[in-house]
Amino acid sequence: MSSKSPFQAVTYEYHHNINMKLLALGLNHKTAPVDIRERLAFGPDIIAGALRDLTNCNAVCEGVILSTCNRTELYCAVQDGAEAEVRRWLSGFHGLEHERVDPFLYAHADRDAVTHLLRVSSGLDSLVLGEPQILGQVKTAYQTATDCTATGKLLGRLFQHTFSVAKTVRTETAIGSSPVSVAFAAVNLARQIFSDLSQQTALLIGAGETIELAARHLHHNGIGRIIVANRTVERAHDLAAQFDGFAISLTEIANHLPEADIVIASTASPLPVLGKGTVERALKKRKHRPIFMVDIAVPRDIEPEVGDLSDVYLYTIDDLQTVIDESLRSRQAAAEQAEEIIDFHSGEFMAWLRSLDAAGLIQDYRQRAEELRDEVLSRARRQLDAGKPPAEVLNFLAHTLTNKLLHAPSSRLRQAARDGDAGILEAANELFQLDQTRLNANP
């Protein structure tokens, strides 16, 4: 593991706002059931407006919203003490009572927020340990926020650092060595129900990354036939063509559902796309041959009441946990190694963040020193113009500038000595390397 810091000298932008804090707030599959998660999800059609609304909060300076099947999280640069306002904003934006949502939320500040984002992006906080899709979702969330001008120096640096660390985790550990994902778990469960997939037809609802992964796993396991349904038929056709399948629109699902033995749904629709009545009619046409359904979407694509039908085996994303757990054991050692990498790089980011305060002080100190230099230099030039000898003017320049630069520090050190403030005296000794200076002067 490299110990080289990725942070270079930066222009200090927060010098006049030293109370700026990092905040990560949200909920996930570990803290909230799917019915709560779907109420707090941000669909792609509302993200831009939500980002504008979030960053219009008085205490929020920058913001990124990450919303996936398993989590809704806000990453913010905020004023000190802003957590309560962000909590209220999240529930209020979705029209929910704060008391209804708050028990399911977690919040992380500063280094804990950095560590959390690094763990999320590296797949260590996922339903499937080490799953790779989450990094792409984090990148998309950041790009969307950037396009909406909701990010600045702080979150920009944090997310770029995050992408670099996630890549390090992937390349230096075996966290992604096993092909485990939600899509893989769904297909693996289908294989357990149907021993021979070559005789089955799969209907895939949606055409995003998860559905594409499901299609690849099904094709690899010899699925007999694939149908892809999507709101945009062209996108469905592009995906179906890769696996010798065919595409339909969402409005055609009812006509083709009787053909489907396996249904896997993952769209961004805010409302279910498959209802109980449609499934009942399809079962009658199938003469009640069972259908295996997996609803990966949040909000759900399949009405929960469909699970009450006797010839339907409906699984939600939460139901896949047992299947997924069986595939995780080989990744535990890699996860421990990944945690060490993340801990190191969290510290690196916080060191950079703390350096912002020093950068501001240095900038102010240099500016003051330059003002004193210009003042003394101007007086020295007037003396030269008046005909004073250059050697005398140089002595004046050196003596006066030295006195002016050392006046304030010297006064503070004398006051520290009178007050018995050994901490300042020791800090000054270390800062100016006075002991080393004496050693060099007296070998």
**Catalytic positions:** 69
Contacts of 75 (CB under 8 A, 6+ apart): 22, 23, 24, 63, 64, 65, 66, 113, 117, 155, 158
Are residues 311 and 280 in contact, defined by beta-carbon separation less than 8 angstroms? no
Contacts of 278 (CB under 8 A, 6+ apart): 253, 254, 257
**d(C-alpha 214, C-alpha 224), whole Å:** 14
Take residue 438 and report the two structure tokens written for it.
């004496």
Residue 136 marked as a ligand binder: no
Residue 137 marked as a ligand binder: yes
Residue 199 marked as a ligand binder: no
Residue 200 marked as a ligand binder: no
Are residues 230 and 206 in contact, defined by beta-carbon separation less than 8 angstroms? yes
Take residue 380 and report the two structure tokens written for it.
């020295």
Residue 151 marked as a ligand binder: no
Residue 277 marked as a ligand binder: no
Take residue 205 and report the two structure tokens written for it.
């609802």
Residue 207 marked as a ligand binder: yes
Residue 415 marked as a ligand binder: no
Half-sphere exposure of 133 (CA within 13 A, CB side): 21
Strand order in the sheet with 71-78: 60-67, 71-78, 21-28, 106-109
Residue 329 marked as a ligand binder: no
Residue 210 marked as a ligand binder: yes
| Strand, coil or helix: 432 | coil
Residues present in the chain in total: 443
Residue 156 marked as a ligand binder: no
Residue 206 marked as a ligand binder: yes
Are residues 141 and 76 in contact, defined by beta-carbon separation less than 8 angstroms? no
Residue 131 marked as a ligand binder: yes
Q: Which residues are annotated as a binding site for NADP(+)?
A: 206-211
Q: Residues marked as binding?
A: 68-71, 126, 131-133, 137, 206-211
> Which parts are annotated binding residues for substrate?
68-71, 126, 131-133, 137
